[in-house]
Amino acid sequence: STWLAKAYLKKIREDLKMNHATFRNILSSSLNIEVAKYTTYRARKAALNLIHGHHMEQFDRIYNYCAEVKRKNPDVKCVLRLRPTFWACNEMARKQFQILYFSFGACRDGFLEACRPYLSWD
């Protein structure tokens, strides 16, 4: 399946939503072999990991994203909340995404300037 992923990476990249039956038909027409469904599933998954990267690696980059947004715009508030999970099989998957909130200073200040008071006292 790893060889299939590398060999057909270009075709999978052209059609990211290609289903397993279509992939099996491409393999049978080009290589004249019949491949099991699970083999095409694993090959497609490996190819998508090569194209997009593994989802756990992407999840770890969210800290870098928050830091970069704060670096480019220092007046931003960034709240990233993860909750721990105890059922995960490895250390990388022990956190589950809960909240990512951005409050940009210009938007916040503009809202507060234009907002009229709801309650007023005499």
Domain ranges of the chain: 2-53, 57-114
Full-model pTM: 0.52
Distant-in-sequence, close-in-space partners of 108: CB < 8 Å, separation ≥ 6: 77
Q: What is the pLDDT of residues 100-122, one digit of tens each?
A: 999 998 888 888 888 777 776 66
pLDDT computed for residue 68 by the predictor: 93
Q: Is the pLDDT of residue 78 over 80?
A: yes
Query: Regarding predicted confidence, which is higher, 97 or 40?
Result: 40
* Bridge partners for 96 per DSSP: 83
CA 16 – CA 47 distance, rounded (Å):
10
Q: Take residue 82 and report the two structure tokens written for it.
A: 């993860």
DSSP of 105-121: HHHHHHHHHHPPPSS--
CA 13 – CA 16 distance, rounded (Å):
5
